[in-house]
Structure 1
Amino acid sequence: MAASSPPSPDAAVRVRDAVAADMDAVQAIYAHHVRHGTGSYEYDPPDLAEMQARWQKIVAQGLPWLVAEDAGSGAVLGYAYAGLFHGRIGWRFVVEDSVYIHPDHTGRGLGEALLREVLERCEALGYRQMMGVVGDGANAGSIRLHEKLGFTRIGTAKDTGWKFGRWLDTVYMQKQLGPGGSEPPPG
């Protein structure tokens, strides 16, 4: 099921479902963030096979994994997905988002377009809450993105990540989807 996002600040970009052929670009984008950033607490970038396995797991659960692509060249400029927040049955109505943008294409509204579509898809699937778990409490761009789309900061876990020789805080953010907790879930 292909979908497009609302018009983004960059009209030459479209948001669509990720396919297997996108995983090379997805792996390269994530590898950059693992090697140079603090948004992920991984030290070694996963290889292509591992990224394909992660994508397949999300898609098999019926959850969205999307890419933003340059409409002219088809190049993948970023990606976002939602995964189950925790594996226990009582958490089954809660998802967690992840958003990563190619370092040459930040600040263009791609993260917003991707996350907005992930939110819409998860709400349509009946999820009630989305969590944003922001690695590095100093990651102002990610925090601003989540706030812009209606997430509320619900707490900071101090000194929970160790990367590049320093402690990092983890910021927890939350957004209600649909009726949230105002009524019981179906079934």
Structure 2
Amino acid sequence: MSAQVIVRPAVAADLPAVAGIFEHYVRRTVTTFEETAPGVAAWRRRLDELTGRGLPFLVAETPEDGRVAGYAYAAPWRPKPAYRHTVEDSIYVAPGRTGRGLGRALLGALLERSGEAGARQMIAVIADTGDDASAALHARFGFVPAGRLSRVGFKHGRWVDTVLMQRELDGPPRQA
């Protein structure tokens, strides 16, 4: 199905769908350590901040219904200036739409556009939920294990580890 997926830059009209997708993961999973789902206004600020920095915020839609079925963005890894060439990825696919190539399409486009934006390294911080799908997806795109942080998140009554993965990107560094 990934050949039929349309991946494009997010626009303000996509943000209610983005908020709805993320809300599912906040309420029902430990995939994100957020405990309160941000509203559309918060997503608008994030979209504006990231695009203002020249970083990609993408959505995936399928041609059969034209609805947003997933999203991905690259955000600064850390606020200190020396980290300015490193980004962290976030990828979420709508419930009921997983396993159809949407994550693959989003990550591929995100890597390309992050490199074009001048990022040199991408970090994936993956909650170790017992499901290796996210780590496997990242490994298929050349991410390598970079470490594990044990019991750093507590959500829904359980302690959760995070797995760190890293990949070098192509492209010139952004000018400081």
Amino acid across the alignment from 1:116: G
In the TM superposition, what is the alpha-carbon distance from 1:57 to its structure 2 partner? 1.2
Q: Does 1:17 align with 2:9?
A: yes
Q: Report the counterpart of residue 87 of structure 2 in structure 1.
A: 95
TM-score, length basis structure 1: 0.88
In the TM superposition, what is the alpha-carbon distance from 1:44 to its structure 2 partner? 1.3
Percent of aligned pairs sharing the same letter:
43
Distance 1:185 1:124 in 2: 9
Tell me which of 64, 72, 79 is aligned to 2:71. 79
Tell me which of 59, 66, 71 is aligned to 2:51. 59
* Structure 2 runs not aligned, ≥5 long: none
Distance 1:116 1:28 in 2: 23
Distance 1:51 1:125 in 2: 21
Q: In structure 2, do the counterparts of structure 1 residues 186 and 83 end up closer, same or farther at CA, with 3 Å as the change threshold?
A: closer
Query: CA RMSD for the aligned pairs?
Result: 1.8
**Contact 2:119 2:171 survives alignment (8 Å):** no
Q: Which has the higher contact order (CA 8 A, sep 6+)?
A: 2
**Contact 1:12 1:72 survives alignment (8 Å):** no
Distance 1:52 1:96 in 2: 19
Q: In structure 2, do the counterparts of structure 1 residues 75 and 168 end up closer, same or farther at CA, with 3 Å as the change threshold?
A: same
Q: Does 1:118 align with 2:110?
A: yes
Q: Report the counterpart of residue 36 of structure 1 in structure 2.
A: 28
Q: Does 1:162 align with 2:154?
A: yes
Deviation larger for 154-163 or 65-74: 65-74
Amino acid across the alignment from 2:21: I
Q: Counterpart of 2:70 in 1: which secondary structure?
A: strand
